[in-house]
Amino acid sequence: MLAAIGAHLDPQVPRITVRLPRSLAESAVAAWDREELGRMGEESREEYELRDDAAELALIGMAITSRGEWGGEEVIVDLDVVQIAASVRAVR
């Protein structure tokens, strides 16, 4: 049912323009540029969640790299609502 609601809402939710401090934007871009070496072994639930959060951070870095507007001490970028939700969820 949640996926059915998501399928209905997805076309209605555009990207949202956000402002990020330069230091946070640079960290996200570094996560995007990072190379993964080696294979993944078995993970605990906590390790899986941490890796999932790292992937979301890298996707924000990709968005900043491809469409971010750097100016002074901040970056303006359009993020998908999914990326915004992932970052807000990480706070909680």
The structure's pTM equals 0.83
| Confidence class for position 14, pLDDT limits 50, 70, 90 | confident
Residue 38: per-residue pLDDT: 67
| Confidence class for position 77, pLDDT limits 50, 70, 90 | very high
User: For residue 25, is it within any domain?
Assistant: yes
Residues 4 and 74: their CA atoms lie apart, in Å, by 37
Closest CA to 53 of 27, 23, 17: 27
Give the tokens for residue 24. Answer: 């946070």
- Residues 8 and 71: beta-carbon distance below 8 Å: no
Domain that holds residue 77: 14-34+42-91
User: For residue 7, is it within any domain?
Assistant: no
User: For residue 1, is it within any domain?
Assistant: no
Residue 57: per-residue pLDDT: 95
Total tally of structural domains belonging to the chain: 1
Residue 35: per-residue pLDDT: 77
User: For residue 52, is it within any domain?
Assistant: yes
Closest CA to 75 of 61, 55, 54: 61
User: For residue 70, is it within any domain?
Assistant: yes
